[in-house]
Amino acid sequence: MINLKNIVDAWGTDNFDATLKNTLENMSVNELPLQKGLSSSNIALDNNIKVVILTKKDNKTELQIKAAIFYTGVIAGCNCADDPTPMDEQNEYCEVYLNINKQTGDICINLLQE
């Protein structure tokens, strides 16, 4: 499980959004559900991840955050010498819902399906 105690500590400060965005933008595709959020490619890339915080709530036990993630993916071909499939990056977008336990900093990230 991913631990974001630094995000809980930043809650209520002017640095919260920047701290959360920086943390999420530096996560990998293995930590974020980017592969499941693909719509125009088939392999998610973890470079150039950009996050926009949409909503944030504080209930007594956890922080609840909805965020938009902009990232890129590629359409992977067979990698044969005569494969006509270009390896161009495709822009991707998904929304996630984060539940961060205020006591422990443990996080649960869920992809919001359309």
At 83, give phi and psi (nearest 5°).
-70, 120
Query: Per-residue pLDDT for 81 more than 70?
Result: no
* Terminal C-alpha separation, the chain: 26
Residue 32: alpha-carbon gap to chain centroid: 5
For 90-114, b/e burial (b = at least 16 CB within 10 A) is bebebbbebebbbeebbbebeeeee
Could you read off the pLDDT of 45-67 as tens digits, one per residue?
Answer: 988 999 999 999 999 999 999 99
Q: How far apart are CA 100 and CA 105, in angstroms?
A: 6
Give the distance between the most distant pair of CA atoms in the chain: 58
pTM summary value: 0.87
Could you list the residue range(s) of the whole structural domain that residue 77 is in? 5-112
- Number of domains comprising the chain: 1
* pLDDT band at residue 113 using 50, 70 and 90 as cut-offs: confident
Burial class (CB in 10 A: 0-12, 13-18, 19+), 21: middle
Query: Per-residue pLDDT for 39 more than 80?
Result: yes
